[in-house]
Amino acid sequence: MSNDNTMTFHGRVGTKVELREGTNIPWVLFRVASTPSYFDQVTRTWRDLETIWISVKAWRSLAQNAAESLEVGDPVVVIGKMRTEKWTTQEGQPRESTVLEATLIGHDLTWGVTRLQRVDRQPPAAARNDTTVAALAELEGESVEAPAA
């Protein structure tokens, strides 16, 4: 059993979701903003609290699908695990940032409709040319017609 805490965050995509490549693993990093509000009984109006921004990181097929599906302003729900990323700037200054490493990202259907379109990201099989087909047929003792182009 893992001791990681899972967090759910919902808000709107605040930055462009760009697909990046790191050691042959696709990933994305983008920001999501959420502005909580409450009903003020005195003024009988809704009031916004301070906007909360969170960085979201996703890997592999989730990253590819997010890059193709999300646009700035889209309402989203993100589930993931909180991580602290540390690095050093070119000037030698230590930095750290808290990131929500996503295991699930989806549109918030409270605000609209979306449709799932499955994608097949399997590498295409090597295309056989006519000579390969004929050679295989010859090995198996069959006659074969060349496939139509």
pTM score, two decimals? 0.75
**Which residues, other chains included, contact 97 with Cβ-Cβ below 8 Å and sequence gap of 6+?**
55, 84, 85
Domain locations in the chain? 6-115
User: What's the CA gap between 81 and 26, in Å, rounded?
Assistant: 19
pLDDT of amino acid 80 = 98
pLDDT exceeds cutoff 70 at 123 = no
Between CA 37 and CA 114 the distance in angstroms is 26
Q: Tell me the DSSP string of 1-59.
A: ---PPEEEEEEEE-S----EEETTEEEEEEEEEE--EEEETTTTEEEE-PPEEEEEEEE
The structural architecture, per CATH, of the domain 6-115 is Beta Barrel (2.40)
pLDDT tens digit sequence for 32-87: 999 999 999 999 999 999 999 999 999 999 999 999 999 999 999 999 999 999 98
pLDDT computed for residue 27 by the predictor:
95
Q: Does residue 129 register a pLDDT over 80?
A: no
Cα-Cα-Cα-Cα torsion 22, 25, 31, 37, nearest 10 degrees, comes to -160
Sign of the alpha-carbon torsion through 66, 68, 69, 71:
positive
